[in-house]
């Protein structure tokens, strides 16, 4: 059980005096005991580097890594009592599954007897349903089975921390979902603080207690899945989180009594000031609509903008459909419920409630107004089912 | 009809009087002939000669003596010394070359700066012509100007220059040292490539599993390299058993037979004593030893390929 803190952590590869690569910059992250942190960000943003610094495989150039308040920068990886699941599994190819699982228990800083180790190996193998594979070598396993062994090798020790580096990246979509649930259940069962790297936002939203979104080595936001979805700190987070991508339009903003008036190319609407937490003093804004917040005006009236849209493509996704259309505002994407009757070329009128509209400062790209969660009479798309 | 079909049918018609079972060997006949001529024939000739007494001075007076040459080997007053020398030479030489080579390879594996330059330098002993390398060592160990003597005196190991190459009790060792110097680089390179073939993530996984550097070496490095090490060791054995130039250049196998190994004895028998039959019998003996080593070499090689 460990409270993990990263304090102003920086990692520069190469010669810091010359032009080293800044992989991670000034990172502050606090993960309370037992929490599941997900590090999310595009490729090359420093996720793996961060994880490796927590595990002790990489030394921070600056800053502190703390476990339960104790600085561990100088503690060697093998003494940190941290288990890591590598993206490519890194199973020991010359050992059987049984030996792979037991390896960590046989080390000198672990004084278990042979029988205790065997029992523990069997227990974990049963939990992961790999008992029949115990005598196989890794080369004889499928991707999903290797995955389980890698996972087993980590959980067998009950370490202070779990680190997962894109552990599901090599699996097919179905297995990924199953394994994701398994990791989630397992972690809440054993309650060990975990850090999990992914660049899949959907995975992050499902599994995380807290998400840390990184870009170019810098922390963009640290928050719960709801927070990063509804109140993204900036445009980057707003665009990275949520699927399909947020619709963005330019707009002009003016104050009108106790409302802000937003004027876009072909629509305008008012946002009551009580829905806005920040003091807005720009007259240009970026207006964001989440596809799942758009409705057909004929099914639901709002105080928000209404705009005509011609359907271009209808993409069914499970019980819903993603509609790409051309509107007076520009290209627009909307997510509609199951009982739609839309086809290409159809005309429809889309609308969005003012509380769901996002506003960003176009120069600093920081959030001016986020999405307020309200009871929805219909549609079935609330923030809780973002991943659907 | 494709060209392949055409070629097949014209091959069939051209060879129609040859039975099907033999016809399939026809295309590899040239290779078989070459192998036969250059490999099998000399071996057969050596075995055949070993049943005769035959002098190089009067080859036509060869006389069939059955196994007499082999009996003579057994009775030879020198043979025990020579076999023992060969055994020491092969085991000590190979082990030392492996330990040293492993160390060199391990150092080359990114623990030394300028790895590529260093690997090139390390290979020099292997690349030098054998006689040149052997001469260098002969010079270094040799009589009054030998640098080795000077070094030992400087280090206080000995008080005054001693005769090394010409003394019965020492003469075997300088050639072994020379041979280790020649073979270690080869093994260093083998070590280097197999070390570099080990996925860095395995070490990281082991570190996360709490393994100390020694445990990483013991449980990751060694097992991952064991086939390469075994094959390298067998290669060293084979090289060492066959070696002739290092001993010949440095000591001519002497004084007496104090530094003679089997190949040196064969050379002496054939080209100094001109006893071709006796030399052939010795060669057959060496051949059998090599065959045993080669058998294990091939078995290991198959196992490695099977594991991959
Ligand atoms: N050992 C290294 N030497 C030099 N640069 C490195 C090293 N490791 C990582 N980098 C650089 O640091 C940056 C962050 O790399 P990192 O591996 O942490 O990214 P990531 O977020 O894990 O990306 P991905 O999603 O592709 O795995 C990259 O620009 C990368 O090129
Ligand atoms: Mg990575």
pLDDT per position as a tens digit, B230-249: 888 888 888 888 888 888 87
Q: Is residue A186 scored above 50 in pLDDT?
A: yes
Q: Is residue A333 scored above 70 in pLDDT?
A: yes
Task: Please indicate, yes or no, if residue B286 is contained in any of the structural domains.
Answer: no
Same domain, A314 and A194: no
Task: Please indicate, yes or no, if residue B208 is contained in any of the structural domains.
Answer: yes
Q: Is residue A373 scored above 90 in pLDDT?
A: no
Of A205, A234, A263, the residue at which a domain comes to its end is A234
Q: What is the mean pLDDT of residues A230-251?
A: 92
Nearest CA distance, B237 vs chain A (angstrom)? 26
* pLDDT the model gives residue B144: 65
Q: Is residue A44 scored above 50 in pLDDT?
A: yes
Q: What is the mean pLDDT of residues B279-308?
A: 80
Q: Is residue B208 scored above 70 in pLDDT?
A: yes
* pLDDT the model gives residue A338: 64
Same domain, A260 and A290: yes
Task: Please indicate, yes or no, if residue A345 is contained in any of the structural domains.
Answer: yes
pLDDT in tens, A132-162: 999 999 998 988 889 889 988 988 888 899 9
Same domain, A109 and A219: yes
Same domain, A23 and A136: yes
CATH of the domain at B99: 1.10.3720.10
Of A213, A234, A255, the residue at which a domain comes to its end is A234
Contact indicator for B94, B237 with CB cutoff of 8 Å: yes
Average pLDDT of the residues of chain B: 81
Nearest CA distance, B207 vs chain A (angstrom)? 5
Residue nearest to atom 10 of ligand 1 (CA): A23
CATH of the domain at A376: 2.40.50.140
Best mutation target among A52, A58, A94 (most B Cβ atoms within 10 Å) is A94
Distance from the alpha carbon of residue A48 to the mean position of ligand 1, in angstroms: 7
Distance from the alpha carbon of residue A24 to the mean position of ligand 2, in angstroms: 12
* pLDDT the model gives residue A8: 93
Distance from the alpha carbon of residue A47 to the mean position of ligand 2, in angstroms: 6
Q: How confident is the model at residue A302 (pLDDT cuts 50, 70, 90)?
A: confident
Nearest CA distance, A158 vs chain B (angstrom)? 11
Same domain, A261 and A321: yes
Q: Is residue A233 scored above 50 in pLDDT?
A: yes
pLDDT in tens, A247-274: 999 999 988 888 899 998 888 889 888 8
Best mutation target among A56, A58, A78 (most B Cβ atoms within 10 Å) is A78
Beta-carbon contacts of B279 under 8 Å, excluding residues fewer than 6 positions away, are B266, B267, B269, B270
Same domain, A230 and A248: no
pLDDT in tens, B104-159: 888 888 666 777 787 788 888 888 888 887 788 887 777 666 777 778 777 877 77
Candidate from A13, A88, A165, A220 with most ligand 1 atoms within 8 A of CB, to mutate: A13
Nearest CA distance, A85 vs chain B (angstrom)? 8
What tokens were used for A60? 């921070």
User: In 3-state terms, what secondary structure has residue A75?
Assistant: coil
Structural domain harbouring B221: 79-259
Q: Is residue B215 scored above 50 in pLDDT?
A: yes
Q: How confident is the model at residue B292 (pLDDT cuts 50, 70, 90)?
A: confident
pLDDT in tens, B58-97: 777 777 777 777 777 788 888 888 888 888 888 898 899 9
Task: Please indicate, yes or no, if residue B17 is contained in any of the structural domains.
Answer: no
* pLDDT the model gives residue A238: 94
Q: Which of A94, A107, A157 sits opposite B224 (nearest CB)?
A: A94
Question: How many domains are contained in chain A?
Answer: 2
Nearest CA distance, A332 vs chain B (angstrom)? 45
Q: Is residue A170 scored above 80 in pLDDT?
A: no
Contact indicator for A225, A386 with CB cutoff of 8 Å: yes
Q: How confident is the model at residue A110 (pLDDT cuts 50, 70, 90)?
A: low
Task: Please indicate, yes or no, if residue B213 is contained in any of the structural domains.
Answer: yes
Task: Please indicate, yes or no, if residue B88 is contained in any of the structural domains.
Answer: yes
Average pLDDT of the residues of chain A: 87
Residue A14 CA, closest ligand 1 atom number: 4
Helices (H), chain A: 47-55, 97-102, 114-127, 143-155, 173-190, 201-207, 225-230, 235-240
Task: Please indicate, yes or no, if residue A338 is contained in any of the structural domains.
Answer: yes
Q: What is the mean pLDDT of residues A111-128?
A: 86
Which CA distances in Å does A166 have to A15, A48, B26, B88?
28, 9, 58, 55
Q: Which of B201, B206, B208 sits opposite A82 (nearest CB)?
A: B208
Task: Please indicate, yes or no, if residue A12 is contained in any of the structural domains.
Answer: yes
**Which chain B residues touch A57 with a CB distance below 8 Å?**
204, 207-208
Contact yes or no for B201 and A83 at CB 8 A: no
Please name which of A185, A143, A135, A186 lies closest in space to residue A167, comparing C-alpha atoms.
A143
Candidate from A10, A15, A19, A23 with most ligand 1 atoms within 8 A of CB, to mutate: A23
- Please give the share of chain A, as a percent, with pLDDT higher than 90: 49
Task: Please indicate, yes or no, if residue B111 is contained in any of the structural domains.
Answer: yes
Please name which of A267, A261, A268 lies closest in space to residue A283, comparing C-alpha atoms.
A261
ipTM of this complex: 0.81
* pLDDT the model gives residue A64: 94
Please name which of B300, B295, B291, B273 lies closest in space to residue B55, comparing C-alpha atoms.
B273
pLDDT in tens, B54-63: 777 777 777 7
Same domain, A148 and A31: yes
Distance from the alpha carbon of residue A48 to the mean position of ligand 2, in angstroms: 4
Which of A283-297, B98-112, B231-245, B279-293 is the most confident on average?
A283-297
Residue nearest to atom 12 of ligand 1 (CA): A23
- Rounded Cα distance between B89 and B173, Å, is 8
Best mutation target among A85, A86, A89, A151 (most B Cβ atoms within 10 Å) is A86
* pLDDT the model gives residue A127: 82
* pLDDT the model gives residue A178: 82
Nearest CA distance, B84 vs chain A (angstrom)? 38
Structural domain harbouring A158: 4-234
Task: Dihedral sign for Cα B32, B33, B34, B39, please.
Answer: positive
* pLDDT the model gives residue A112: 78
Task: Please give the angle made by the CA atoms of B279, B280 and B286, to the nearest 5 degrees.
Answer: 90
Q: Which residues of A touch B (CB under 8 A)?
A: 55-57, 76-79, 81-84, 86, 88, 90-95, 103-104, 107-110, 153, 157
Chain B, 189 to 218: residues with Cβ < 8 Å from chain A are: 199, 201-202, 204-212, 215
Q: Which of B207, B211, B220 sits opposite A57 (nearest CB)?
A: B207
Contact yes or no for B204 and A153 at CB 8 A: no
* pLDDT the model gives residue B112: 67
Pocket of ligand 1 (CB under 6 A): A 13, 21, 23, 41, 43-49, 199
- Rounded Cα distance between B148 and B142, Å, is 8
Task: Please indicate, yes or no, if residue B296 is contained in any of the structural domains.
Answer: no
Residue A42 CA, closest ligand 1 atom number: 25
Same domain, A208 and A304: no
Q: Is residue A384 scored above 50 in pLDDT?
A: no
Task: Please indicate, yes or no, if residue B246 is contained in any of the structural domains.
Answer: yes
* pLDDT the model gives residue B121: 82
Distance from the alpha carbon of residue A58 to the mean position of ligand 1, in angstroms: 12
Contacts 24+ apart (CB under 8 A), A85-88: A85/A150, A85/A151, A85/A153, A85/A154, A85/A162, A85/A163, A85/A164, A85/A165, A85/A167, A86/A150, A86/A165, A86/A167, A86/B201, A86/B204, A86/B205, A87/A48, A87/A165, A87/A166, A87/A167, A87/A169, A87/A170, A88/A170, A88/B201
Q: Which ligand is nearest to the CA of A46?
A: 1
**Which chain A residues touch B209 with a CB distance below 8 Å?**
78, 83, 103-104, 107, 153, 157
Q: Which ligand is nearest to the CA of A58?
A: 1
- What is the signed CA dihedral for A62, A66, A70, A71, rounded to 10 degrees? -20
Contact yes or no for B199 and A90 at CB 8 A: yes
Question: How many domains are contained in chain B?
Answer: 1
Same domain, A339 and A271: yes
* pLDDT the model gives residue A374: 59
Q: Count of A–B CB contacts within 8 Å?
A: 63
Q: How confident is the model at residue A189 (pLDDT cuts 50, 70, 90)?
A: confident
Same domain, A197 and A313: no
Whether the predicted model's global pTM rises above the 0.95 cut: no
Same domain, A264 and A230: no
Same domain, A304 and A208: no
Which CA distances in Å does A47 have to A56, A72, A219, B65?
14, 19, 10, 81
Q: Is residue B2 scored above 80 in pLDDT?
A: no
Contact yes or no for A88 and B201 at CB 8 A: yes
- Rounded Cα distance between A82 and A160, Å, is 6
**Which chain A residues touch B204 with a CB distance below 8 Å?**
57, 77, 84, 86, 90
Contact yes or no for B210 and A92 at CB 8 A: no
């Amino acid at each position: 059980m460990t409270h993990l803190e990263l304090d102003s952590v920086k990692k520069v590869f190469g010669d810091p005096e010359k032009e080293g690569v800044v992989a991670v910059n000034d990172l502050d992250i606090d993960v309370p005991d037992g929490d599941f942190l997900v590090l999310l960000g595009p490729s090359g943003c420093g996720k793996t580097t961060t994880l490796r610094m927590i595990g002790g495989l990489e030394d921070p150039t600056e800053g502190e890594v703390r476990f339960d308040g104790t600085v561990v920068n100088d503690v060697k990886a093998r003494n940190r009592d941290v288990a890591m699941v590598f993206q490519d599994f890194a199973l020991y190819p010359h050992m059987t599954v049984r030996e792979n699982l037991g390896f960590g228990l046989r080390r000198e800083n672990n004084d278990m007897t042979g029988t205790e180790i065997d029992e523990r190996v069997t227990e974990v193998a049963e939990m992961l349903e790999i008992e029949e594979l115990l005598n196989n070598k890794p080369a004889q396993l499928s991707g999903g089975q290797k995955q389980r062994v890698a996972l087993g090798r980590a959980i067998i020790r009950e370490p202070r921390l779990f680190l997962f580096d894109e552990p599901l990246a090599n699996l097919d979509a179905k297995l990924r979902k199953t394994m994701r649930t398994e990791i989630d259940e397992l972690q809440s069962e054993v309650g060990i603080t975990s850090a999990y790297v992914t660049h899949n936002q959907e995975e992050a939203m499902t599994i995380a207690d807290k998400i840390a979104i990184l870009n170019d080595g810098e922390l963009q936001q640290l928050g719960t899945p709801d927070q990063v979805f509804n109140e993204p700190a900036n445009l980057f987070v707003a665009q990275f989180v949520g699927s399909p991508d947020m619709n963005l339009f330019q707009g002009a903003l003016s104050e009108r009594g106790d409302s802000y008036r937003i004027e876009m190319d072909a629509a305008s609407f008012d946002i009551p000031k009580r829905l806005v937490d920040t003091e807005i003093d720009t007259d240009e804004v970026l207006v964001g609509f989440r596809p799942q917040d758009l409705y057909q005006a004929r099914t639901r009236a709002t105080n928000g903008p209404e705009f005509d849209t011609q359907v271009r493509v209808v993409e069914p996704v499970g019980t819903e459909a993603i509609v790409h259309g051309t509107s007076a505002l520009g290209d627009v994407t909307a997510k509609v419920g199951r009982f739609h009757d839309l086809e290409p070329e159809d005309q429809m009128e889309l609308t969005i409630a003012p509380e769901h509209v996002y506003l960003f400062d176009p120069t600093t790209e920081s959030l001016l107004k986020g999405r307020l969660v309200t009871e929805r009479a219909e549609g079935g798309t609330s923030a809780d089912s973002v991943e659907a | 009809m494709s060209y392949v079909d055409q070629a097949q049918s014209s091959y069939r018609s051209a060879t129609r009087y040859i039975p099907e079972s033999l016809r399939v060997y026809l295309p590899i006949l040239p290779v078989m002939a070459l192998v036969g001529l250059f490999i099998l024939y000399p071996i057969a000739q050596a075995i055949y000669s070993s049943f005769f007494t035959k002098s190089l001075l009067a080859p036509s007076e060869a006389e069939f003596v059955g196994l007499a040459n082999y009996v003579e080997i057994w009775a030879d007053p020198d043979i025990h010394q020579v076999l023992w020398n060969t055994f020491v030479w092969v085991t000590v030489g190979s082990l030392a070359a492996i330990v040293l080579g492993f160390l060199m390879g391990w150092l080359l594996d990114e623990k030394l700066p300028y790895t590529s330059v260093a690997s090139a330098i390390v290979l020099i002993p292997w690349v030098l012509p054998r006689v040149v390398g052997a001469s260098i060592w002969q010079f270094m160990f040799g009589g009054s100007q030998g640098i080795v003597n000077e070094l030992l005196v400087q280090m206080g190991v000995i008080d005054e220059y001693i005769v090394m190459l010409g003394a019965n009790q020492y003469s075997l060792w300088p050639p072994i040292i020379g041979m280790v110097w020649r073979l270690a680089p080869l093994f260093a390179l083998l070590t280097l490539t197999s070390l570099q073939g080990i996925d860095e993530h395995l070490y990281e996984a082991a570190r996360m599993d709490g393994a100390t550097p020694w445990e990483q070496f013991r449980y990751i490095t060694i097992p991952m390299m064991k086939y390469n090490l075994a094959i390298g060791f067998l290669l060293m054995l084979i090289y060492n058993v066959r070696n002739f130039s290092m001993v010949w250049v440095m000591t001519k196998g002497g004084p007496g037979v104090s530094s003679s190994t089997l190949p040196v004895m064969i050379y002496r028998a054939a080209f100094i004593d001109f006893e071709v039959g006796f030399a052939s019998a010795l060669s057959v003996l060496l051949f059998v030893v090599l065959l045993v080593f080669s058998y294990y070499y091939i078995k290991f090689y198959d196992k490695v390929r099977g594991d991959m």
